[in-house]
Chain A
Amino acid sequence: MAGYLIKRLATAIVVVFGITLVTFLMLHIVAPSPGQTVLGPKASQAAIRAYNHANGFDRPWYEQFGTYLNHVLHGNFGWSYKTNQSVNAIFAEKAPLSAFLSGVSLIVAVAIAMPLGIYQAVKRNSIGDITATTLAFVLYSMPVFMVALLMIQVFALSLGWVDPNVSQDQSLSGALNDWKDLILPIAALATTAVASYSRYQRSSSLDVLAQDFIKVARAKGLSNRLVYSRHLIRNASLPMITLIGLSLPALIAGNVLIEYAFNINGLGLLFVNSLQNDDYNVLLGYTLLTAVLTVVGNLIADLALTVSDPRIRLV
């Protein structure tokens, strides 16, 4: 176990270093001279040169990368030109709301998709299964913002159950005071996730149902209930752990789109606004943060899988 853990951690560190390098280089190529963006289009060439020199943007890229890496390792993501505060401060302010949105929708999605997929597998080709499969297929082909627009039309505009305008509070506690406003964003995020998770859960349950040990369990005379709860659910849920780990980038992309759709003041909307403002340190920081989150998520999923399934050998 220890050997595996060390090897897995070492790979993760290499990947995180690679991510930092790739993201940094990408933004460096896209924006080699931030002076112009910061000082504005009317700034003189001398002023831009002076700014770039003062901030070290005229040094070779590997030196700049070294400096950036050093800062990041010390927990400093740099300065946001546009909002004139440190990137750390903005992230600390906006992260709770985004994390809440993603976290709750992930939990809701798993809580719906797992029972749904198992039910579909057990009652294969029943009307319920066919309906759910069709619905999942349509939703799977639907971008998350389209789901959001449909929900706004139906639940906010036509039925008037919720307010289409979401609280503009940036803090999590402020947004939670108007918790009803968060129902639609969370529902939209969860719906698209359910569409893909339930398909995987269904097919993994079908695979398990075809296994011999299910036949043996039935032959022993176990009731369906026991066969499903003891033998099916546990085995069929294992692939879901990996899947959830792998779906983190999609969850983050969904977060960006949903925060934009509902105008929620989280990290995703910050990213889109920073793009329009060329606020590179924010872009770099957010991309890096989400990428590292993805790596960590995959690592946790792998470890959780090895813990929950003793058959997986640690090599």
Chain B
Amino acid sequence: MTTVIEPIPAGPGGPGSGPASSDAGDLSTVTTVGWKLTLREFMSNKLAVAGVAILVFFIAFCFLGPLVYHTNQIDTDLLNTNQAPSGSNPLGTDTNGFDVLGRLMLGGQTSLEIGFIAAVIATIIGTLWGAVAGLIGGLIDAALMRVVDILLSIPFLLVVLIVAHRYGSNIWNLSLILGVFSWLVPARLVRGEVLTLRVRDFVSAARTMGGSRTHLIFRHLIPNAMGTVIVNITFQIADAILALAALGYLNFGVHYPDTDWGSQISDAQDALSNGYWWLVFPVGAALVLVVMAFNLIGDGLRDAVDVRLRKR
């Protein structure tokens, strides 16, 4: 957020060259353990903490909520469709007579699960791809990165729609589809990290001692690129949740009896002109809040990781 004009340190990140001035408040403490610094910096970022709070709330709401708030989300209740919010249905009922609050929890479970699994799949593929390309270099690097260029040029939504149309419909398949087509950004990021890491002394040392490429990748390169990877994974989850919402909105989301937030909005679209606002806006608000929470956490983590690299 803030761009501070800093005196240029001699060799950014070089051992022992950290700026010893400015940020007076932090000087007294001598913690240099990376993750502690990161955590403290992260916790001092109010927006990021708010993001965590929103996320914890929604995870509890979606996964623990149904344990307390029992609703029937299997059988339609056609005598009680489109009921306005009332005592028995705090957020009303939808076009099939399902309780909207309970539906929101069910849809949230799907959206969060798919977002998380898809992001993990994408990150694993992307990290390996980028690390191999960056470490080996040369023709193989060029070939691997051209593949990334090609896939990046095909609009993501179109590809995912085509595949999801045939193989989608349940949580695992949709996670796999979203994950398999969204590893391009982490691949580029990790390759960039590896390109700067592989010329560093500790990597050369490991190589001189006879470390194999696999050893270099898993023991030295990926662990050191982890900061970037973890920051990216939060954005990746946000994007996956948005992509799933788009799929659901176009009617290519999970199938009955499951639901996801995008499908709920899609089912409710016509309800708007009938004045049934409770079918659209609670779901929409939940979706936006969760995506926002992940974006806030990602921004906070990025700043925190940056600080760690700067002060170490």
Residues of A within 8 A of B (CB): 11, 14-15, 18-19, 22-23, 26-27, 30-31, 137-138, 140-143, 145-146, 149-150, 152-153, 157, 164, 203, 206-207, 210, 249, 252-253, 256-257, 260-261, 271-272, 275-276, 283, 286-287, 290-291, 294-295, 298
Do the beta carbons of A19 and B159 come within 8 Å of each other?
no
Do the beta carbons of B154 and A141 come within 8 Å of each other?
no
9 smallest CB-CB distances across A and B, nearest first, come from A18-B150, A253-B157, A141-B292, A249-B155, A141-B291, A291-B154, A294-B153, A30-B166, A252-B155
Q: Which segment, of B31-39, B80-88, B115-123, B265-273, faces chain A?
A: B265-273
10 CB contacts below 8 A, A to B, read: A11-B149, A22-B154, A143-B287, A145-B246, A146-B288, A153-B272, A157-B272, A257-B249, A286-B158, A291-B153
B246 to chain A, nearest CB (A): 6
Is B93 part of the binding interface, using a Cβ–Cβ cutoff of 8 Å?
A: no
Do the beta carbons of A290 and B249 come within 8 Å of each other?
no
Is B161 part of the binding interface, using a Cβ–Cβ cutoff of 8 Å?
A: yes
Question: Which residues of the other chain, B, contact A26 by a CB distance below 8 angstroms?
Answer: 159, 162-163
Among A145, A203, A207, A283, chain B packs the most CB atoms within 10 A around the CB of A145
Choose among A15, A143, A152 the residue that contacts B153 (Cβ–Cβ < 8 A).
A15
Is B146 part of the binding interface, using a Cβ–Cβ cutoff of 8 Å?
A: yes
Q: Tell me whether A137 and B154 are in contact in the complex, defined as CB-CB below 8 angstroms, given that A18-B146, A143-B245 are known contacts.
A: no
Choose among B5, B162, B262, B295 the residue that contacts A141 (Cβ–Cβ < 8 A).
B295
Complex CA distance for A143 and B280, rounded to whole angstroms: 13
Residues of B within 8 A of A (CB): 3, 5, 146-147, 149-159, 161-163, 165-167, 238, 242, 245-246, 249-252, 262, 265, 269, 272-273, 277, 280-281, 284, 287-288, 291-292, 295-296
Number of residue pairs A-B, CB distance < 8 angstroms: 129
Do the beta carbons of A143 and B155 come within 8 Å of each other?
no
B150 to chain A, nearest CB (A): 4
Complex CA distance for A142 and B246, rounded to whole angstroms: 11
Question: Which residues of the other chain, B, contact A140 by a CB distance below 8 angstroms?
Answer: 295
Complex CA distance for A271 and B162, rounded to whole angstroms: 10
Question: Which residues of the other chain, B, contact A210 by a CB distance below 8 angstroms?
Answer: 3, 5
B37 to chain A, nearest CB (A): 24
User: Known pairs A249-B152, A249-B155. 14 more at Cβ < 8 A?
Assistant: A11-B149, A26-B159, A30-B163, A141-B295, A142-B288, A145-B265, A146-B265, A152-B272, A153-B277, A256-B157, A260-B249, A272-B161, A290-B155, A291-B154
Complex CA distance for A291 and B163, rounded to whole angstroms: 17
B49 to chain A, nearest CB (A): 16
Question: Which residues of the other chain, B, contact A138 by a CB distance below 8 angstroms?
Answer: 288, 292
B16 to chain A, nearest CB (A): 26
B160 to chain A, nearest CB (A): 10
Do the beta carbons of A275 and B246 come within 8 Å of each other?
no
